[in-house]
Structure 1
Amino acid sequence: MNLVVFYAHKPKLSLLILITIFCVILLSLYSRDLLLIMRISNLRVFNNLTGFFVFLSSLLIVPLVYAEKGDWTFSLTTGVYKPSLKTLNKIIKNPNKAILQDPNFQLTPNTAFTANIRNIEIPAFGANNTYGYELSKKTGSGNAFVITLGIWNAVQEADDIAPQITGANVSDFENVPRSTRYDVSLTQLWLGWRYALFEPTPRNNLFLDFGLIGVSYAQLTIDTLLKVPELAGDGFPIVSSLEATGWGHTTRWGIGGSYAINKWVGISIRAAYVIGRISKLKVQRFFPSGFSTPPQPTNPNLPPPEVPDLEPRPEPGDTIQFADTQSLDPNLERRSNVQDFELELDGFEAQIALQFFF
């Protein structure tokens, strides 16, 4: 009954909420298939699938916002966010460290393809664009309740040469071009409070912004491609991909201001510092696509930490881990200081928003 009353008083807002829920359902049902299509088609304009739905639903929602006096504000936001990602940047810049489920580290080693060569060096992640939605409701003089959805995505790539055995003789190598792509996507939802420090008019103010309760969802995708020449034969892997996800808690503390252009539209700017982390990521999918079975150890009686086998094939549900790595021979590698991999989300964020009052 309460829902009927709410719809009767706020039909436009009710429709807005329903469309947003519909887009989220579409995202959960078809995200992986559409993401694969966009990667194959190299559609870099929407390099984050969630951002694609943000854009699509924006086209549907914006016409619903009309000029009338009210306490609600709907905003389309864009800006820059620089999460720390300290652990990830430390790993990808150091060839002696590896994510154990990384498709590069999972490549079968040989005498010329040791751990420090398999661990390809990638440029560090930095600041990148963020965009999303914001919905606020005034609750009293100078106070407002705020719901914020933010999307951030960044990609780093690298190329090198991977020596692969191409004949019956283990000393016969072929220098095979290798391409690697690391893709990190963050979706952050905050329930927060906004307090006006200075408010000459209801639509013009300088405010403190607090994202008190925040939830972050991370997607980490690592793709590796070996471009094996036709003359080298067909017995080598071509492509492999790892997909991992995780959840974490965040908070946000910032300051901003808003300015009403007219009675129904305005602009807002905000700067904030985000605090949070995702302490564990789980394997969702691993596509070996032809990786050969790792060779058997020559001496299975070696004591730890000289582990007498290669890293096991990742399985769905495995926790992503990283370690210091060292090759002792093609069938034996030392993995020490093994730790759970985490994503540090601490960092500054600056945004500008187009506001619609209703």
Structure 2
Amino acid sequence: MSLRPSLRDVFQGLQREGHLDEVAESRARTTLEALQRTSTATPWFVKVLTGIGAWMSASFILSFFACIGIGQNEVAFILLGVVCCVAATALRRLSSGAFLEQLALALALAGLGIVTAGVALETGEAQPAALANLVFSAALIIAFPDSTLRVIATFTLVGAALVLLWNFLGILGVDLGVFVCAALAQGLLLYQPRLAAGRMGEALGSLSLGLATCVPALLLVRSSMRLLDVENWFRFGDASAPNGPLVLTLLLTALALYAAWHTMNELDLEPASTAGAGVFAALTLMAVLTLHTPAIIASIGLLLTGFLRRNVVVLGLAVAFLVLSGAWYYYDLSLTLLAKSGALVGSGAVLLALRWFLFRRAPHSPATAEAR
């Protein structure tokens, strides 16, 4: 099964299942050709210069409000951010073109930052500012029809939620945030075909990409806090959660096992077969070998879901994260060199054995040429 099936393969499969008629492929090719001619009508460097001009225009607009001293009044500052978000959303929905799209993007991001800063200045505390950022980020993800902003808003939403969890639960909040992000990212990817037909279908790709990117970032933050002893600086370190990495690894292992089960069911493979048992055993053994490094099993879970949906970006993130987390595991000073070497050799052997096992049992289909 190829990672990127050709357009002809996709249409032939849909026609065999009775979802499309015989002329659907020709109509789709005509539409794609028209879209390609439209998208390549303007050279890329012209689009880049147009985007730079739009961001400069947005900075000039905001500089005007800064010059008249609106930042000295926190309430007016917050209202300015709200107006920027609403105006940018309306501009993006009612207009088209590279300049206006980039201008709306710049105003929306500026409005989000102004609202967060205004609430922080008004209250003097981090929690209300994080809550305001979370609410406005969620609103922009729903209302603003732009994939770039939705990915960035997902980052800010996760960051705001992490601040709230940190303040209320300490390091347990970081672990909870990692698990929720991983569960949402894998759930959105696993159930993408079903969710794509809903009202939030157009935002699904941006949300899953943003959450899948947040999982490695949060795990690296978590590992850095543990390695640099930052947790004890804030007096809610491993003493309050001595088994935090172990519990997180077990939860992420459950997610990876469910992703493997769902993947085999969707690919018409029997989870109760010998191949399925081998996959589950390999994932469990991998988790046992790296109990104190949840990043490894989390990257494997993302690897499974990215492969199922043929998402090259998520696959790239998962592979890079797997290599980085393996290197991070090796430099963890809390483990002996013998334990590190055994876990690295064992995990590599498990991955190679699993690949060989699946290739021996998977049905091979003839390769098809990519449609131009």
* TM-score of the pair, normalised by structure 1: 0.22
**Greater relative contact order, per chain length (Cα 8 Å cut-off, separation 6+):** 1
Normalized per residue, which structure has more helix? 2
Give the number of the structure whose residues are more often strand, by fraction. 1
Give the TM-score, by structure 2 length. 0.22
